[in-house]
Structure 1
Amino acid sequence: MTDILEHRSLYIGGRWAEPAGQGTIEVVSPVTEQVVGRVPHATPEDVDRAVAAAREAFDHGPWPRMTLAERIEVVTRIKDAIAVRHQELAELVTLQNGSPMLFSVRGQALSAVGAFAASLAAAARFVVEDERQGTGGPVLVRREPVGVVAAITPWNIPQLTIAGKLAPALLAGCAVILKPSPETPLDALWLADLCAEAGLPEGVLSVLPADRETSSYLAAHPGIDKVAFTGSVGAGKAIMAAASQNLTRVSLELGGKSAAIVLDDADLSVAVPAIVGGTCAANSGQACVALTRVLVAASRYDEVAAALTGAFASLTIGDPSDPKTVVGPMVTRNQQQRNLDYIRIGQEEGAKLLTGGGVPEGLTTGWYVEPTLFGDVTNDMRIAREEIFGPVVCLIRYETEDEAVALANDSDFGLSGAVFGADTERATEVARKVRTGTITVNGFRLDLAAPFGGFKHSGIGREFGPEGLSGYFEYQTVNLPAPAKS
């Protein structure tokens, strides 16, 4: 049996500290269903201590008063340390959430390195202040760090979602209180040590594993200037409501029900691998950007259905530590049951089960769900409208290009998507009509140098790239004296 990784302290204000309470969080392996880690459960009193340390660091400490170039040096050291130890990080994430090692290396650990690198590149080009001519004279426009940031992150892609908040916040000069998901606290505490070793000043970072109740307390805290949250729509609404008590700024990256539009001239040798990569192979389907609605031209429907059925059925499912595994377990028993419930609902609604539909044979220990493909789905079915968060995908027919766009946009969400077609100009024009934050032509990609976020219920604000960095600054206008008249 794997030794239990145990933390007895919380990371508060840059120091390891005794927790205020006696509660603990047990990290359970989704493969063995055994406890593999144990950490203290942060309490509201711990939040108060962390906020006090962050306020002191921001209001009186050196970090926000350093030059941007000086902060770039420290954040670069953090990025480099993650890069050196990325394999260790990948294994830690897989231990907690069952992400297949194939995905953990690239999609978990190296993507975090990439997010830090992209933020650093944006910071190197960032203009902190500029003088311009106003209507009544010259003005100086300055960018000031927003302040103390509460970064609340999910379990599915923990280090990438941390990097998307921590890197730009630190570069801007903010202090950060990181609240990781209770399912994946170990990698966040691991990161705390790296940040300390990189020379992050005292008070600038705290890491507080906790549940939703503590998250709400943190979001509602009057000492917080901005909440950056990634998670479900329901949790995002609760965070936004809590933050609204103090008019605290929020950025929210929420759910998705993204559409992949397969045009009538699509090359299936391109489309099918990309759809598989953007669904079941994307963290076992546990990704907000997953292409869970595949909209197919009626003239190509049977061909696409057969190709995807074969591709889904051939995926290797099992132990995520095996480098051959493509689909691992769901993160919790509840998440497994949620997927199985939606599979039942889809059948009751009249969708046709093309492959999958249950627990894989021989995998009764661990929270596995077979890669599942439904055909004959209509866009009003619950399986087409609600986020399932697992390896469950819907095939939907359309007759015309306009209908395809209308179906793609007929959703409460607008986070990601794809368009496949041999005529790239036509496919790009279709992509322009889909109201979604990110969309890829003939592929599936999240580019860390470009803004990422959603329309509609998929969120507020953007992460990554210069736009993500800008979200951690406030603007100040200084009206300068008009030149003396000669």
Structure 2
Amino acid sequence: MDYDFDSWFVDGEWVRSADADPTAGPVRVRAASTREPVGSFPRLGVADVARAVGAARAAFDDPGGWSAWTPAARAEAMEDLADRLAAKSEEIGRLVSLENGMPISLSQRSEAHAGAGLLRFFAAMVRERSEEEVRVGVTGRHNVVRSEPLGVVAAVVPWNYPQALAFTKVAPLLAAGCTVVLKPAEETSLDSYLIAQAVAESGLPRGVVNVLPGGRDVGAALVEHPGVDKVAFTGSTAAGRAIAVRCAELLRPVSLELGGKSAAIVLEDVDLTSRVAEFREATMRNNGQTCHLSTRVLVPAARYDHYVDQVTDLIGSQVVGDALDAATDVGPLVSEVQRDRVEGYLGKARGDGATATTGGGRPTAGQGWYVEPTVLRDVDNDQVIAREEVFGPVLCVIPYGDTDDAVRLANDSDYGLGGTVWSEDEERAGAVARRIRTGTVGINGYRSDPVAPFGGIKGSGTGRELGIEGLQSYRNIKSIFPAP
């Protein structure tokens, strides 16, 4: 496949950049597993941002346009787009694995189908909901509470789940009647062209979805643009804080799904070897490049060595290899920069006294940006490796005294996005889960569901995606009062 693109998608057309530096050349993407070239796309400038926002603004403000369509009509168009994406599913999965190193077994069951699935989910949801509700007041008057589209959304998404995280935003905002400028990460901008192609083939009106590949400068200009009504961002906590400050100054709504350093509370009655797939999924999914992973594994101090051995066996026995190999459990990291970052954290951990029971280095095979799946013991919850998000295949095993101590350690974090509880007694596990201060918790595994809201607290962000809460976050609530 040829993934060398010389244009970008705005207002329903493929256009050339208006103000990019012609001497800079295109952005080139290399395969995470081999470092071989995958494709390229053009650099964009501030004028391109203005053009994209202008197209989304015109599409939203059109009196007969997308925002004025009935929910049923929007749902029908979304399902058409879902069909177009589904036809590209195999190519989407393969391209994502090339770009960011996601094992093909994961990308083919998640990224390949995420867009179509979320579009259909929110299309069905919006069909079933009325945009107006009559509330009888204390004096008997009939007040109308109306839910209206919020406007133009700047959707800024990261590289780890480029399709799923794009449509976690795009699907509900389309259902709500909004328009969007989607800015993917540079590392995974190529697969966003498949989104644009599907939009071009679908029945969506011009300007409803615009795709704006680019780096931080493009993202910053998009967040700042006066034509944007809301920013929806997924990424690092540092970037999220900066966006939150600017949106506060602009009094602009913002949703932030940021980093995590979640805990897995392993209760003394559980045998982790009976839950191999679930444990790996909850702690190592996508080569550790997942924000909600339970990378702090809290185990009973009285059985510390026992659980260290179990975790070591479960993590160390994974197959490391090329992302496109169906047998691969753990692929490479997305880039050399990310690999260096993870290795830097491993160096800090060793300096603080941690010991690797498996992994800790680079595999001998493969030319890509690999780090071995690693388990660290002799870690204290105050050490850097237990406090900061590594975003790689690295777990630290931390002892606790009793259940109260385990909950205390789980909550002793600057983050609050995910978490898991492991026990043979699911009722007991549920009781512990309710005590963890976080946005989401899984019991004996972690599998999110679009019916349930997703998001975090503290340094993990603000706002919720998915569920009815995700749809409503793209709506403005208006009250219409009857005559006195």
Normalised by the size of structure 2, how large is the TM-score?
Answer: 0.96
Aligned pair partner of 1:139 in 143, 160, 185 = 143
Tell me by how many angstroms 1:271 deviates. Answer: 4.5
Matched, 1:79 2:82: yes
Matched, 1:423 2:425: yes
Q: Distance in 2 between matches of 1:149 and 1:297?
A: 46
Q: Which residue of 2 aligns with 1:292?
A: 295
Say whether the 8 Å CA contact 2:157–2:165 is kept in structure 1: yes
Greater CA deviation, 19-28 or 94-103?
19-28
Q: Which residue of 2 aligns with 1:192?
A: 196
Q: Which residue of 2 aligns with 1:204?
A: 208
* 1:108 aligned partner, one-letter code: E
Q: Deviations over 1:386-432 (max 9, x none)?
A: 00000000101001100000000000111011101112111101000
Aligned pair partner of 2:154 in 141, 150, 156 = 150
* 2:67 aligned partner, one-letter code: P
Q: Deviations over 1:168-217 (max 9, x none)?
A: 11111111000000000111111111112221101111111111111111
Matched, 1:336 2:339: yes
Q: Describe the SS at the equivalent of 1:183.
A: helix
Structure 1: give runs of 5+ residues left out of the alignment.
none
Q: Deviations over 1:446-481 (max 9, x none)?
A: 112210000111011111111101100000000013
Matched, 1:19 2:23: no
Q: Describe the SS at the equivalent of 1:308.
A: helix
* 1:13 aligned partner, one-letter code: D
Q: Distance in 1 between matches of 2:116 and 2:352?
A: 43
Q: Distance in 1 between matches of 2:274 and 2:465?
A: 28
* 1:373 aligned partner, one-letter code: V
Matched, 1:240 2:238: no
Q: Distance in 2 between matches of 1:203 and 1:273?
A: 43
Tell me by how many angstroms 1:120 deviates. Answer: 2.5
Tell me by how many angstroms 1:270 deviates. Answer: 4.2
Greater CA deviation, 325-334 or 8-17?
8-17
Aligned pair partner of 2:49 in 47, 50, 60 = 47
Change (3 A) 1:134 1:270: farther
Q: Describe the SS at the equivalent of 1:151.
A: strand
Say whether the 8 Å CA contact 2:78–2:120 is kept in structure 1: no
Q: Distance in 2 between matches of 1:242 and 1:354?
A: 44
Matched, 1:460 2:428: no
Q: Distance in 1 between matches of 2:193 and 2:277?
A: 36
* 2:208 aligned partner, one-letter code: V
* 1:73 aligned partner, one-letter code: E
Say whether the 8 Å CA contact 1:123–1:466 is kept in structure 2: no
Let me know the Cα RMSD of the aligned residues: 1.4
Matched, 1:230 2:234: yes
Matched, 1:378 2:376: no
Percentage of pairs with the same residue: 46
Q: Which residue of 2 aligns with 1:34?
A: 36
Q: Distance in 2 between matches of 1:249 and 1:442?
A: 35
Normalised by the size of structure 1, how large is the TM-score?
Answer: 0.96
Corresponding pairs, count:
478
Q: Deviations over 1:4-23 (max 9, x none)?
A: 51111110122111111235
Structure 2: give runs of 5+ residues left out of the alignment.
none
Q: Which residue of 1 aligns with 2:476?
A: 474
Q: Distance in 1 between matches of 2:117 and 2:273?
A: 28
Q: Deviations over 1:29-77 (max 9, x none)?
A: 1122232111112211001111111111111251111001100001111
* 1:17 aligned partner, one-letter code: V
Q: Deviations over 1:101-153 (max 9, x none)?
A: 01111132223333223322322332311101123422100001000000000
Say whether the 8 Å CA contact 1:114–1:448 is kept in structure 2: no
Greater CA deviation, 81-90 or 285-294?
81-90
Q: Distance in 1 between matches of 2:278 and 2:305?
A: 18
Q: Distance in 2 between matches of 1:242 and 1:193?
A: 32
Tell me by how many angstroms 1:272 deviates. Answer: 4.3
Q: Distance in 2 between matches of 1:31 and 1:197?
A: 32
Q: Which residue of 1 aligns with 2:389?
A: 387
Say whether the 8 Å CA contact 2:143–2:481 is kept in structure 1: yes
Q: Distance in 2 between matches of 1:14 and 1:403?
A: 56
